[in-house]
């Protein structure tokens, strides 16, 4: 009995004591687009090599990532919803916002392009064409940066998509929404990074791109240590400084998928 | 008087004789036992008989301390409320879902014996009751007779001064019954006091030193077995022995 | 471009893909820890509930029965609010760690273990009470006795708990954050890889998860058969 008991205790300790990470780390709340595209997988090892700081990325929608940072559960937040970011800093949750990079949104859809988006001059016109044709459109519907950008486009196109039977709100991430779009098939607004790294495309292809309103800027902010005293200011600031340094910017530009560059450096030196 | 208890068990003052003083028990407004006074003497085989529903099993449970009486008292000679030096074998043995050996060791473990000390007595019990070949078998998979033998071995292992046996053979075939009876008789020759119920008059004749005859919750006769069987003093006892008193 | 996901899955498993191994190891550690903790608390608690009578006992029993149906996401949300830096246990810095996932899964497992233990022990007690009291077994001493004798039935419950915890994705995603190499479990990785359209990896992980569950249930069935005598 005693040996069985000590075995049990030993087992409990063995199971519970997960590998001790004495290593310094910071937690970054970011978006699914940066994580899913593989950008972090590319640049974080370079950063860690240089500084010895491990970066733990919690990938969420932009709204959720900002909320995570607001609650103090991250040290750094890197997202793409400019207005929300500026509000985040203005309310004192973040110290300062730095431009890091941008990517762009593309409209993907069935290769036969039933709504004729190939003929559209602007993104607004493309969205109006989808509504006019009543072609299925898969929306994130999750208050993510992508979803917010999509809603802005509907508004400038003068369309209220909600409630129409061609408008499909998935309420899920970019990848899940693309999976849905590929199955229907439906049009969808996607960030280029996720699209390029997405493998289960089915009959989908890019049907509209290039309008400057589709540019999608990413900002990075240190969570305000005055709000949350445990924020790892030094390590977090080191990460931000590195991202906007020449070296970090080059690392971002060098990240490609099948030869296509996903993110474009935009830090103001 | 034979030595009682395993060497490592502390031997206290004798708990016998056991006196029942105007014992009564009722449930749901019905008096199941009333006004039972008797003395269970050391070294005797006391058989409790009577028709169905007379309160035989209940009397044993009251003596053993599993149930508290509504009135009267159970008085042990050493003054304790429920002495350790007693054991009970039930009509349907309840064996733990473990091996035969583990069932025996469990009883010793509960009695407070250290693990290292349990082996010798357990081996002795296995040998004495012919259970050695079954030691590693699952207790629940034994035959009815083997299960009851294990239950008796477990009770014996506690080295009780008095053992209560509630119809220990009622579910067994004649061969197994004979074996159990021989075992019980062996206990008696070693000086263990027995109090046992049975519905089998032949068994009562074979085993009893003394008889308690219960009827409708009352003690009707109590005396030496020979006297009771030869010349019952009451009309009820006579009718019972003649097979005319069924409840 | 998308090759057959089942072929990819087989290649990943056969080659012992290190990421796959790491995720699998973490998942097992987290879920087994949660099961262990759930049992260490749930088995005695269930047994005590079975053997004691106190005011409000019925309420406690109903509560645990109801908690068996607690949506995992709700459990995750509660742990999240508890462990968040803005929450009451924020100072321990447990959010987005394996410990947080163990807590969340433990909460899912505990009611199953408690409720099943109570019911098993209560039934056994009806059968054993007289015999145990006759042997002089105290109530406290009866607890391990009854737990051990109910081990076969209890094993089924513990397995159900393991199944619920290991198959769960919502709670561990919320409290673990699905951080690569740190809190990425099989289920959160399956969700992620599916959303990336990386179906091969998702299928490989799903296959392994299924195999683990199958193996455990097979082992449990084997134990039940092997010790059949003792268990009956």
- Full DSSP string of chain C: ----HHHHHHHHHHTT-HHHHHHHHHHHHHHHHHHHHHHHHHHHHHHHHHH---TTHHHHHHHHHHHTT--HHHHHHHHHHHHSTTSTTGGG--TTSHHHHHHHHHHHHHHHHHHHHHHHHHHHHHHHHHHHHHHT--HHHHHHHHHHHTHHHHHHHHHHHHHHHHT--HHHHHHHTT-TTTT--HHHHHHHHHHTT-HHHHHHHHHHHHHHHHHHHHHHHHHHHHTHHHH-
pLDDT exceeds 80 at position C1: no
Assign residue A229 the CATH number of its domain.
3.40.190.10
Integer Cα distance of A16 and C101 in angstroms: 11
Integer Cα distance of C50 and C139 in angstroms: 11
pLDDT band at A188 (very low <50, low <70, confident <90, very high): very high
What is the predicted pLDDT for the residue at A165? 93
Report chain A residues whose CB lies below 8 A from the CB of C98: 18
Decide if A184 is inside a domain. Answer: yes
Decide if B143 is inside a domain. Answer: no
Q: What is the tally of structural domains in chain B?
A: 1
Decide if B31 is inside a domain. Answer: yes
Q: B30 — contact with chain C (CB < 8 Å)?
A: no
Q: What is the tally of structural domains in chain A?
A: 2
Integer Cα distance of A196 and C196 in angstroms: 10
A113 in the same domain as A202: yes
- Higher pLDDT among residues A81 and C57, named by residue: C57
Mean pLDDT of chain B: 90
Domains contained in chain C, CATH given: 5-224 (1.10.3720.10)
Poorest-confidence range of A108-112, C45-49, C73-77, C153-157?
Answer: C153-157
Instruction: List pLDDT tens digits, range B78-105.
Output: 888 888 889 999 999 999 999 999 999 9
Q: Tell me if C136 and B110 make a contact (CB, 8 A cut-off).
A: yes
Decide if B215 is inside a domain. Answer: yes
A134 in the same domain as A232: no
List beta partners, residue B87.
Answer: B163
Mean pLDDT of chain C: 90
Decide if A16 is inside a domain. Answer: no
Instruction: List pLDDT tens digits, range B175-190.
Output: 999 999 999 999 999 9
- Cα–Cα distances in Å, from C167 out to A171, B94, C52? 22, 40, 34
Poorest-confidence range of A62-66, A85-89, C114-118?
Answer: A62-66
Assign residue B74 the CATH number of its domain.
3.40.50.300
Residue-by-residue pLDDT tens, chain B, 247 positions? 344 567 656 566 788 899 999 999 998 888 899 999 999 999 999 999 998 888 999 999 999 999 999 999 999 998 888 888 899 999 999 999 999 999 999 999 999 899 999 999 999 999 999 999 999 999 999 999 999 999 999 999 999 999 999 999 988 899 999 999 999 999 999 999 999 999 899 999 999 999 999 999 999 999 999 999 998 899 989 999 988 766 5
Q: Tell me if C133 and B66 make a contact (CB, 8 A cut-off).
A: yes
Decide if A52 is inside a domain. Answer: yes
What is the predicted pLDDT for the residue at B247? 58
Decide if A258 is inside a domain. Answer: yes
Instruction: List pLDDT tens digits, range A123-139.
Output: 999 999 999 999 999 99
Mean pLDDT of chain A: 89
What is the predicted pLDDT for the residue at B9? 61
Instruction: List pLDDT tens digits, range C94-128.
Output: 999 999 999 999 999 999 999 999 999 999 999 99
pLDDT band at C228 (very low <50, low <70, confident <90, very high): low
Q: Tell me if A175 and C180 make a contact (CB, 8 A cut-off).
A: no
A122 in the same domain as A199: yes
Average the pLDDT over A212-238 and give the result: 94
Decide if B8 is inside a domain. Answer: no
- Chain C segment 6-65 residues within 8 A of B by beta carbon are none
Range of the domain at A85: 23-102+217-265
Decide if B141 is inside a domain. Answer: no
Q: B97 — contact with chain C (CB < 8 Å)?
A: yes
A223 in the same domain as A98: yes
pLDDT band at C227 (very low <50, low <70, confident <90, very high): low
Average the pLDDT over C148-169 and give the result: 91
What is the predicted pLDDT for the residue at B4? 55
A175 in the same domain as A126: yes
Cβ-nearest to C130 among B66, B107, B111:
B66
What is the predicted pLDDT for the residue at A1? 42
- Chain C segment 103-132 residues within 8 A of B by beta carbon are 127-128, 130-131
Range of the domain at B196: 18-94+161-241
Decide if A167 is inside a domain. Answer: yes
A221 in the same domain as A210: no
């Amino acid at each position: 009995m005693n040996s069985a008991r000590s075995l049990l205790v030993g087992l409990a300790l063995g199971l519970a004591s997960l590998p001790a990470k004495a290593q310094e780390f910071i937690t970054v709340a970011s978006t699914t687009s940066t994580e899913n595209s593989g950008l972090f997988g590319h640049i974080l090892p370079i950063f860690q090599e240089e500084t010895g700081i491990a970066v733990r990325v919690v990938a969420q929608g932009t709204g959720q990532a900002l909320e995570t940072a607001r609650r103090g559960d991250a040290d750094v937040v890197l997202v793409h919803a400019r207005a929300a970011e500026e509000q985040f800093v203005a309310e004192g949750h973040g110290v300062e916002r730095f431009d890091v990079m941008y990517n762009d949104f593309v409209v993907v859809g069935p290769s036969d392009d039933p709504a004729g988006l190939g003929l559209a001059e602007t993104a607004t016109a493309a969205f109006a064409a989808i509504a006019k044709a009543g072609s299925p459109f898969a929306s994130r519907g999750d208050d993510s940066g992508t979803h917010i950008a999509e809603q802005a486009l509907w508004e400038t196109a003068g369309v209220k998509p909600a409630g129409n039977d061609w408008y499909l709100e998935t309420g899920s991430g970019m990848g899940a929404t693309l999976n849905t779009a590929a199955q229907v098939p439906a049009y969808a607004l996607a960030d280029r990074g996720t699209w390029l790294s997405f493998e289960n495309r089915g009959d989908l292809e890019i049907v509209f791109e290039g309008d400057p309103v589709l540019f999608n800027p990413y900002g990075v902010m240190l969570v305000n240590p005055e709000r949350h005293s445990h924020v790892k200011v030094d390590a977090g600031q080191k990460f931000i400084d590195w991202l906007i340094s020449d070296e970090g910017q080059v690392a971002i530009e060098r990240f490609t998928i099948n030869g296509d560059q996903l993110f474009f450096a935009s830090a103001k030196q | 008087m034979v030595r009682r208890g395993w060497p490592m068990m502390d031997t206290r003052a004798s708990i016998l004789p056991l006196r029942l003083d105007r014992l009564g028990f009722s449930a749901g407004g019905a008096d199941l036992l009333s006004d039972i006074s008797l003395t269970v003497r050391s070294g005797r085989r006391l058989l409790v008989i009577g028709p169905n529903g007379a309160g035989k099993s209940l009397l044993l449970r009251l003596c053993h301390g599993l149930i508290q009486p509504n009135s009267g008292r159970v008085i042990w000679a050493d003054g304790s409320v429920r002495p350790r030096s007693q054991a009970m074998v039930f009509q349907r043995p309840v064996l733990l879902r473990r091996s035969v050996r583990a069932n025996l060791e469990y009883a010793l473990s509960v009695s407070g014996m250290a693990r290292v000390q349990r082996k010798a007595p357990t081996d002795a019990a296995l040998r004495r009751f012919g259970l050695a070949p079954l030691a590693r078998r699952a207790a629940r998979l034994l035959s009815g007779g083997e299960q009851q033998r294990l239950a008796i071995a477990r009770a014996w292992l506690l080295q009780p001064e008095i053992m209560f046996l509630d119809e220990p053979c009622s579910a067994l075939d004649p061969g197994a019954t004979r074996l159990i009876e021989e075992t019980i008789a062996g206990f008696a020759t070693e000086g263990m006091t027995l109090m046992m119920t049975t519905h089998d008059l032949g068994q009562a004749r074979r085993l009893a030193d003394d008889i308690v005859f219960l009827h409708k919750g009352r003690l009707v006769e109590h005396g030496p077995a020979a006297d009771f069987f030869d010349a019952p003093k009451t009309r009820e006892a006579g009718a019972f022995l003649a097979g005319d008193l069924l409840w | 471009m998308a090759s057959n996901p089942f072929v990819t899955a087989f290649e990943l498993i056969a080659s012992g893909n290190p990421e796959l191994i790491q995720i699998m190891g973490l998942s097992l550690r987290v879920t087994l820890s949660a099961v262990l903790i759930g049992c260490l608390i749930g088995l005695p608690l269930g047994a005590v509930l079975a053997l004691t009578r106190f005011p409000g006992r019925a309420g406690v029993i109903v509560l645990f029965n109801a908690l068996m149906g607690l949506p995992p996401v709700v459990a995750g949300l509660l742990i999240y609010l508890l462990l968040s830096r803005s929450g009451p246990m924020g100072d321990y810095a447990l959010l987005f760690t394996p410990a947080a996932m163990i807590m969340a899964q433990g909460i899912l497992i505990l009611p199953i273990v408690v409720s099943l233990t109570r019911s098993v022990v209560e039934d056994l007690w009806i059968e054993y009470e007289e015999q145990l009291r006759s042997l002089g077994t105290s109530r406290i001493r009866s607890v391990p006795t009854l737990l051990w004798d109910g081990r076969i039935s209890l094993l089924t419950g513990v397995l159900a708990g393991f199944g619920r915890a290991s198959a769960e994705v919502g709670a561990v995603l919320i409290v673990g954050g699905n951080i690569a190499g740190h809190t990425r479990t099989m289920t959160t990785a399956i969700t992620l890889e599916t959303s990336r359209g990386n179906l091969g990896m998702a299928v490989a992980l799903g296959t392994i998860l299924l195999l683990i569950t199958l193996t455990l249930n097979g082992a449990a069935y084997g134990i039940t058969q092997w010790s059949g005598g003792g268990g009956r």
